Amino acid sequence: MSVSLRKARTIIRKTLEKGREMDLKPLSVVVLDAGGHVIAFEREDGAAPGRFAIAHGKAYGSVMLGMAGTAQMQRAEAQAYFMAAVNGVYGGQVVPVPGGVLLRDRKGAVIGAVGVTGDTSDNDAAAAMAGIEAAGLTGET
């Protein structure tokens, strides 16, 4: 099972809707496939210009490590030099905080990831989960 563009669009739209409902700052949302490659992205009006890279970094690290943002953050807090080194081997493209959410199929296999940025990391993750659930997928924050 892979994430279709249709599903990715639903995730993004519903994540943004949740952000408006929660009254969050303007959000940016990326959906990556199982190889860590971009399927779709949207940045809301008013978000800072550099938000693609942050959203991407949250999702990319999640896919590449098979570890969602919360687990990455715990590892970074316990062993900062390890996550720094991991980032070295991934070309500095990993942002290890909540808002990077793994997408899993029914058997638990990783089929992609969502990255959300714009508000607090926890709010970013909550909005992502709303989007993922609206698309009928299972997320791991």
Least spacing, CB of residue 136 vs a copy of itself, in Å = 17
The 90-129 site mask, x for binding a copy of itself (CB under 8 A), equals xxxxxxxx-----------xx-------------------
Does position 20 interact with a copy of itself (CB under 8 A)? The reply is no
Pinpoint the alpha helices (H) of the chain. 5-21, 51-65, 69-78, 80-89, 121-134
CA neighbours closer than 13 Å in the CB half-sphere of residue 139: 27
Instruction: Report residue 130 CA to chain centroid gap.
Output: 12
Does position 85 interact with a copy of itself (CB under 8 A)? The reply is yes
Does position 81 interact with a copy of itself (CB under 8 A)? The reply is yes
Enter the DSSP assignment of 14: H
Question: Cα separation of 94 and 96, whole Å?
Answer: 6
Q: Which of 17, 15, 62, 10 is nearest to 39 (CA)?
A: 10
Least spacing, CB of residue 126 vs a copy of itself, in Å = 18
Does position 134 interact with a copy of itself (CB under 8 A)? The reply is no
Least spacing, CB of residue 97 vs a copy of itself, in Å = 6
Does position 18 interact with a copy of itself (CB under 8 A)? The reply is no
Token couple for 107: 């058997």
Say whether 55 sits in a helix, a strand or coil.
Answer: helix
Query: Could you say which residues in the range 25-44 bind a copy of itself, by CB under 8 A?
Result: 33-44
Chain positions contacting a copy of itself, by CB under 8 A: 4-5, 8-9, 33-50, 52-54, 56-57, 63-67, 76-77, 79-97, 109-110
